[in-house]
Amino acid sequence: MINNLSHTIFITSFLIVFSIVSFGQGKPNVVLIISDDAGYADFGFQGSTMMKTPHLDKLAEQGMIFRQAYVTAAVCGPSRAGLLTGRYQQRFGYEENNVPGYMSKSCLPDKEMGLPLDQVTMGDYMKSLGYKTGYFGKWHMGNADKYHPTKRGFDTFYGFRGGARSYFAFNEENPNHRQEDYLERGFGGFREADKYLTYALADETASFIEKHKNEPFFVVLAFNAVHTPMQAREKDLEAFPELTGKRKYLAAMTLSMDRGCGVVLDKLAELGLEDNTIVIFTNDNGGPTDTNTAINDPLSGTKANHLEGGIRVPFLMRWPGVVPEKSTYDFPISTLDLLPTFFVAAGGSLNALKEIDGVDLLPYISGKNVRRPHQTLFWKKENRGVIREGDWKLLRFPDRPAELYNIAQDIAEVNNLAMKHPDKVKEMYKKLFEWELTLQRPLWQLQRKYEGKAMKRMDAYRK
């Protein structure tokens, strides 16, 4: 799985870096970049010939591409809750998107929906190791003041509290009436940017890096690109004369996001920080093939369902001297693994992490541990549930028989093997149920008319 580097040399370099970290010297900086609603195939490094992503393609060349990277949910709020805590979000009741106005009468009011305050975040853990922490972009972990990023482990915040907003400044021509959509600097400093939002977020991230160049820093850059609304600069649209409609806008928005990544990556190079910075790029869930015409090939499925196209995402990692260039990793990993990987790389002990479900990836990607990081992974949303065990994947539905696939042989999930392997279905169904018994009841739920959209998307792939 590791290319262009002998196992012996790699293990030696890994141990040297690990020993340096263990003695508290040369702590690596960490930059985590998250796109929003991007299609699995909509990047050059993923094989697209239509999208222009030169900066991310270069990042892929400089590090490792993870071929089976998974998020913990097929929609953004729960997925981000799992990523930030290293725990299955269902363990603390964050099973649905916290979207104001979408909740049933029996559930929490809008102001109470958010990442529970007893959960420890990446920001909290990295601060405990002496890191300066910054969060830039989409938060979506609760709109109320008590859920604010600056109260959840982040020293610096520049972004918006909600789940989506305009890429252009709110003004008389582009009005807005929801506080959670406004750009906010720090706590309560609401002020709109005078530039396209993707570039504003990237520039603020680069400024944070420059300010803290002489001390270890942890940065999350959570773009709202390429989530709706489909809004792009005219200059970026002009780069795709062959495209029309939503696809043209998606390409332009992807180009601007790639440029935003370039701003941050160039700043690291300018300051001489590349060699001592872990950079991760990934996406929050599968691409929505209806609202922004994302392409998830060769995967079936889309945002909001549990086929591979809803939960498998692009994933890159660069750490010179530790992660080999032009390499790939083929076993399944999860965004649950980001927190323990960062924490251990920064000199922390896994024993200090509370009840996490992720694993430290460094021994696996180094080749020191040749087993799978995860033999079993789970997903759940109301009555829908999924278990992947090894290469087998079972999908449970509330209104139809379960489906079983061998992902290694059938990445597109077109050959349902449930009838051929009833014992395997029974075995996996039981393990899924046992996992569900460890979970908390959802703190809130979407109304059925919204939940139904996800089922309709999945039905479309069955016709």
Q: Is 349 helix (H, G, I), strand (E, B) or coil?
A: coil
Domain 383-441: state its class. alpha beta
**How far apart, in Å, are the Cα atoms of 361 and each of 40, 72, 242, 263, 282?**
22, 17, 41, 27, 15
Q: What residues does each domain of the chain span?
A: 7-374, 383-441
Query: Which of 92-101, 400-409, 446-455 ranks highest by mean pLDDT?
Result: 400-409
The band of 177, judged by pLDDT with boundaries at 50, 70 and 90, is: confident
Q: List, edge to edge, every strand of the sheet that includes 384-389.
A: 376-381, 384-389, 392-396, 403-406
pLDDT of residue 178: 85
pLDDT tens, position by position, 225-277:
999 999 999 999 999 999 999 999 999 999 999 999 999 999 999 999 999 99
Buried b (16+ CB within 10 A) or exposed e, 239-263: ebeeeeeebbbbbbbbbbbbbbbbb
What percent of the chain has a predicted confidence (pLDDT) above 90? 85
Asked if 236 and 247 count as a contact pair (C-beta separation under 8 A), the reply is: no
Q: What are the tokens at 446?
A: 């979407």
How confident is residue 173, by pLDDT bands cut at 50, 70 and 90?
confident
pLDDT-derived band at 448, boundaries 50, 70, 90: low
Segment 31-86, tens digit of pLDDT = 999 999 999 999 999 999 999 999 999 999 999 999 999 999 999 999 999 999 99
- Under DSSP, is residue 165 helix (H, G, I), strand (E, B) or coil? coil
Instruction: State mean pLDDT over 404-410.
Output: 98
What does the block give as tokens for 368?
A: 């020191």
How far does CA 29 lie from the centroid of its chain? 19
Asked whether the beta carbons of 332 and 324 are under 8 A apart, the reply is no
The 10 Å CB-count burial string (b at 16+, else e) for 426-454 is: eebbeebeebeeebeebbbbbeeeebeeb
pLDDT recorded at residue 102: 61
Q: How high is the pLDDT of residue 447? A: 62
Q: What is the pLDDT of residue 156?
A: 98
pLDDT (0 to 100) of residue 272: 98
The alpha carbons of the chain give a radius of gyration, in whole angstroms, of: 21
pTM: predicted TM-score of the whole model, two decimal places: 0.91
Architecture of domain 7-374: 3-Layer(aba) Sandwich (3.40)
Supply the residues annotated as catalytic.
76, 140
Q: Does residue 23 have a pLDDT over 50?
A: no
- Our CA dihedral for 124, 126, 130, 133, rounded to 10 degrees, sits at -80
| Span 184-203, pLDDT tens digits | 999 999 999 999 999 999 99
179 pLDDT band, cuts 50/70/90, is confident
Q: Which residues pair with 388 in a beta bridge?
A: 377, 393
Q: What pLDDT shows up at residue 456?
A: 54
Identical fold for domains 7-374 and 383-441, yes or no, is: no
Residue 69's DSSP bridge partners are 313, 333
Is the pLDDT confidence value at 4 over 50? no
Distance set, CA 391 to CA 374, 375, 446 (Å) = 11, 9, 31
177-198: string of b/e by CB count within 10 Å (b at 16+)?
eeebbbbbeeeeeeebbeebbb
pLDDT score, position 287: 98
